[in-house]
A and B are shown apart, each in its own frame.
Chain A
Amino acid sequence: MTQSPVLLILGNGGAAIHAVMASRDAGHTGPIHLVSDTSGPAFNPMLAPYFLAEKIRFEDCFPFGEDFYDRHHVTCHFGSPAATLNALNKEVLLESGERLSYDRCLVATGSRPTLPSIPGLNNSPRVFTLRTPKDTIALHQALSSTKHALVMGASMIGVKLAEILMGHGIKVTLVDVADRVMPNAAHPDCASHLARKIREKGVDLRLDSRLKGIEDGHKTMACHFETGQSIEADLCLVSTGVKPNLDFLDPDHVELDQGIPVDERMKTNAEELYAAGDISRGFNPVTGKKEIIGLWGNACWQGRTAGLNMAGSDTVYPGTIPHHISSFFGLDFVHLGNINRSGEDVKILANRDFSGGAFYLLVFEKDILVGVNAINTISHAGSLKSAILQKYVWSDYLDFRMKNPTDEQIDRILASFRTKN
């Protein structure tokens, strides 16, 4: 190519920003256009809880700064999202009417919160989600006049938000339709310990519990449960999941499957079209399947990989596994990989009589570690994640009859892996 290609990036989050940085680092000197429905610097939604907990300032939720675009010579098209993308003509139409053509395009439009279909939920001014800068400010402003909050979704973020609200002196009712907290991240044997701790700290935790409807009153909202019980709350904070922002994409132009499937180079099946971040279904090297892994770090790696490849280099990203680490109610909780495996090849080692101190739950499939839960021990979390990705065979180092894996035993096994070669 004699002329430098025109890069177009849709989105303004971690994936988009890292794509810009990587393509400039790889020597792309041509134009970069960036499209976003927001009109400011890139926001990191992962930092919003820290702002709500008053640990950081609001401006600290924008880690790349306002001058990022100038420093990287990016032409910004802010304030209007993409309306349609024509992958055959390599053209994007914005809702503002502006038309942009590209040589290579990255879709990094992220995801948005979903609301469960409960009558009264959709149009109540007392219902909040937490994703964007606007959401964050609105929730923050509402906190001072809130005495009782209903948090929907006992996911990791739901539990964290419950803790933050309680820190503001707010009474919290935490509701989930599942019969345990963090059903995707915590094994039942671990979730029971977490639930006990959450209740001990004063949260009104209601599991296996569904709302029938919500009625806005003059001062509060009435939340009716299917059991016939009702509570009065000042606000309802919904953290029941997200869905990818892909409405502007045409399934005839690019393969869509609850997200955009990508290969290890972040390429979609459409020519010169890449996807990264929460919208992309990347490779999980442990399951061998493509899935959305909506994590800040994963988005940044994917964005970087896309950016390098769009600038003409050939870079692969092997993918990652779901992984979370969070501190709430005085506990450090770790989740790695797939803890919901079952079958005759599956073995589980766990400190089942956990009452305090450190808790480990290790899930093995065919003697290979595939999932971990840990409470109050984080020193081996990264090494265990690496051990899952490396697919080490544990049977040479571990007695599977063991009942209580300790930090020390795990430390020795991990050190053995490190010195194997």
Chain B
Amino acid sequence: MQLGFSFDISRCSGCMACMVACMDQNDLAGNGATFRHITRLERKASPGVTVSFLSLSCLHCGDAPCIMACPTGAIYKREEDGIVNVHQDLCVGCHSCALACPFGAPQFPDGGKMTKCNFCLERVEKGMEPACVRACPTKALGFGPIDELSNEKADRASRAILSSYYLNPGAEK
């Protein structure tokens, strides 16, 4: 089984609740490393601009490049749920994982050992949602087994397409 996050960019209002919840859960300092990162995007539209937000953390990749790059074997993938985690006692702080990760997930508070999103392991293991998902007021963030998430996504997309044809009385002809 592989756990994953889902993110619906059309629902994200950029409120940063996910980031704050993450910092609270993981005891991160307000001015230092964050495991979840939000970027404001502006795109030209006519008229004006379209603003959207991207909330990103470690994606717990299926074949995680950080694991291959680590010289000590400190980074590993849990068989039971696919969560990518780090043995901090093995980490030498070489930053190789930071170069391997295309998402900027690895963090090095105080220039020391690598730390990053671990999917709120202690919450998930007790049957709870990760803190960021729990805090998201618009349900832009979700989580679950990857297979279920992709089924849900396909389902939502099909509904959206079908409703535009038949079920939306407000739609202009």
CB distance from A163 to the nearest CB of B (A): 14
A70 vs B2: C-alpha distance when bound (angstroms): 30
Q: What residues of chain A lie closer than 8 Å to B72, measured between beta carbons?
A: 44, 47, 60, 63
**A46-B71, A63-B73, A415-B54 given; A382·B104 CB < 8 A:** yes
**Considering only CB atoms and an 8 Å cut-off, how many residues of chain B contact the other chain?**
31
Question: Are B54 and A382 in contact, CB atoms less than 8 angstroms apart?
Answer: no
**Is residue A187 contacting chain B, with contact meaning CB distance below 8 A?**
no
Question: Are B104 and A383 in contact, CB atoms less than 8 angstroms apart?
Answer: yes
Closest B residue, CB atoms, query A297: B69
Q: What residues of chain B lie closer than 8 Å to A55, measured between beta carbons?
A: 92
**Is residue A325 contacting chain B, with contact meaning CB distance below 8 A?**
yes
B100's partner among A297, A304, A411, A416 (CB-CB below 8 A) is A297
Interface residues of B in 92-131 (CB under 8 A from A): 92-96, 98-104, 106, 108, 111
Q: What residues of chain B lie closer than 8 Å to A418, measured between beta carbons?
A: 54, 56
Q: What residues of chain B lie closer than 8 Å to A385, measured between beta carbons?
A: 99, 102
Closest B residue, CB atoms, query A65: B73
**Is residue B173 contacting chain A, with contact meaning CB distance below 8 A?**
no
B108's partner among A297, A304, A378 (CB-CB below 8 A) is A378
A56 vs B102: C-alpha distance when bound (angstroms): 28
Question: Are B99 and A56 in contact, CB atoms less than 8 angstroms apart?
Answer: no
**Is residue B161 contacting chain A, with contact meaning CB distance below 8 A?**
no
Question: Are B73 and A323 in contact, CB atoms less than 8 angstroms apart?
Answer: no
Question: Are B41 and A415 in contact, CB atoms less than 8 angstroms apart?
Answer: yes
**Is residue B39 contacting chain A, with contact meaning CB distance below 8 A?**
yes
A31 vs B13: C-alpha distance when bound (angstroms): 58
Q: What residues of chain B lie closer than 8 Å to A332, measured between beta carbons?
A: 95, 111
**Considering only CB atoms and an 8 Å cut-off, how many residues of chain A contact the other chain?**
38
Interface residues of B in 75-102 (CB under 8 A from A): 90, 92-96, 98-102
B39's partner among A47, A378, A382, A411 (CB-CB below 8 A) is A411
Most B CB contacts (10 A, CB to CB) among A297, A326, A327 go to A297
**Is residue B68 contacting chain A, with contact meaning CB distance below 8 A?**
yes
**Is residue A269 contacting chain B, with contact meaning CB distance below 8 A?**
no
CB distance from B141 to the nearest CB of A (A): 15
Q: What residues of chain B lie closer than 8 Å to A414, measured between beta carbons?
A: 39
CB distance from A397 to the nearest CB of B (A): 10
**A379-B104, A412-B39, A415-B41 given; A297·B96 CB < 8 A:** yes
CB distance from A6 to the nearest CB of B (A): 27
CB distance from B27 to the nearest CB of A (A): 20
A382 vs B114: C-alpha distance when bound (angstroms): 14
Closest B residue, CB atoms, query A64: B73
Q: What residues of chain B lie closer than 8 Å to A359, measured between beta carbons?
A: none
CB distance from B94 to the nearest CB of A (A): 7
Q: What residues of chain A lie closer than 8 Å to B104, measured between beta carbons?
A: 379-383
**A63-B71, A63-B73, A415-B41 given; A323·B99 CB < 8 A:** yes
Question: Are A383 and B102 in contact, CB atoms less than 8 angstroms apart?
Answer: yes
A379 vs B104: C-alpha distance when bound (angstroms): 6
A419 vs B52: C-alpha distance when bound (angstroms): 10
CB distance from B97 to the nearest CB of A (A): 8
11 additional contacts (CB under 8 A) given A325-B99, A383-B103, A411-B37: A47-B92, A60-B90, A325-B94, A327-B95, A327-B111, A382-B99, A382-B100, A382-B102, A385-B99, A412-B41, A415-B41
List 29 A-B residue pairs with CB atoms under 8 Å apart, sorted by A's residue number. A44-B71, A46-B94, A47-B71, A47-B92, A55-B92, A60-B90, A63-B72, A297-B69, A297-B99, A297-B100, A300-B68, A301-B68, A325-B95, A325-B99, A326-B95, A327-B93, A327-B95, A334-B99, A336-B99, A381-B98, A382-B98, A382-B104, A383-B103, A383-B104, A385-B102, A386-B102, A412-B39, A419-B41, A419-B52
Interface residues of B (CB under 8 A from A): 9, 37, 39-43, 52, 54, 56, 68-69, 71-73, 90, 92-96, 98-104, 106, 108, 111
